[in-house]
Amino acid sequence: MNRKHRRLALGLGATAALSTALLALTPVMAQADTPAHTERFPAAAAASAALQTAASQDAEPEFADETLRISYDNGYKFELRFEGADTAHWKVVAGQDPAEGTVKVEHREESEGVYRLKWTEADGTTVEQVQNWNDDTVTAVIEFEQDGAKQRMDLKGTFDVAC
């Protein structure tokens, strides 16, 4: 092994050792949540907060495995049935010609109980929807092509969970 490769190996070894040491300390730090501990060890407080945030992001969103009845102010009504959190089956119930489909859903929690979802339907229609589970309201932006021109609908409404 030449000198350049030995330095690289030593550097990688030191990095791996440091990473292992930090990872080994993180769970212990995260368990200590007393104010005295966080005052003495600000890094422990930061590690604890990061772990709590990661744990909440791993939790299933409120809409997972639920069926929602959505009513928009313009009279459109949809049923949105989630299979887990990443797949949804939508169905027009009122206000438009009958249609339905299954889509892959991207989502993120914007704040506690508020989720931003995005999906693209088979015909190219894109939907960006914000569900607020704190007050059962929903907004959506639906973009589609009609007669060769891009159209956009901004919708507001409410939802409830079907039994």
Domain parsing of the chain, residue ranges: 3-58, 67-161
Tokens of 154: 């901004």
Q: How would you write the pLDDT of the chain (163 residues) with one tens digit per residue?
A: 443 444 444 444 544 444 434 444 444 333 444 444 445 555 555 554 544 444 445 689 999 999 999 999 999 999 999 999 999 999 999 999 999 999 999 999 999 999 999 999 999 999 999 999 999 999 999 999 999 999 999 999 999 999 7
Nearest Cα to 152, choosing from 127, 129, 131? 127
Q: Read off the pTM.
A: 0.64
Task: Tell me, rounded to whole angstroms, the distance of Cα 112 from its chain centroid.
Answer: 11
pLDDT of the residue at 19: 42
Query: Given the structure tokens 């959505």, which residue do they identify?
Result: 70
- Longest C-alpha distance within the chain, in Å? 74
| DSSP state, residue 129 | E
Give dist(CA 62, CA 149) in Å, integer. Answer: 36
- Under a CB-based contact definition with an 8 Å cutoff, are residues 88 and 81 in contact? yes
Q: Whose structure tokens read 């991207």?
A: 106
**Angstrom distances, CA of residue 24 to CA of 17, 18, 20, 42:** 11, 10, 6, 17
The answer regarding whether domain 67-161 maps to CATH 3.40.1110.10 reads: no
Q: Where are the alpha helices (DSSP H) in the chain?
A: 3-31, 35-40, 42-58
Phi, psi of 46 (to 5 degrees): -65, -40
Q: Given this model, what pLDDT does residue 45 score? A: 54
> Can you tell me the distance from the alpha carbon of 25 to that of 45, in angstroms, rounded to the nearest whole number?
12
Contacts of 122 (CB under 8 A, 6+ apart): 101
What's the CA gap between 87 and 103, in Å, rounded? 6
